[in-house]
Amino acid sequence: MNLIPEWRKSWRLTSVQFAIITAALNAAAGTWVAFDGHISPIVWAGVNMALGMAAAIARVIPQPKVTEQ
């Protein structure tokens, strides 16, 4: 496995940002239950699916904000 050439700028990649948002929302989901905030499993699955698809699509789109000098 090789790192991308500009790996220190990876946080600028839209796909990485979507992955971070997804991870943060899933981590926060545990606290929402404690506050009696019930979220429909279908809605939650839809949100996770949409963010996962957005990350996958963003990964194949050229992102010059990382590769430009």
Q: What is the pLDDT along the chain (69 residues), one digit of tens a residue?
A: 677 777 788 888 888 999 999 999 888 877 766 555 677 778 888 888 999 999 999 888 887 776 665
What are the E-state strand segments in the chain? none
Rounded Cα distance between 60 and 35, Å, is 38
pLDDT value, residue 8? 82
Rounded Cα distance between 55 and 63, Å, is 13
> What does the angle CA 14 – CA 18 – CA 24 come to, to the nearest 5 degrees?
140
pLDDT value, residue 4? 73
pLDDT value, residue 55? 92
Q: Is the pTM of this model over 0.85?
A: no
pLDDT value, residue 64? 75
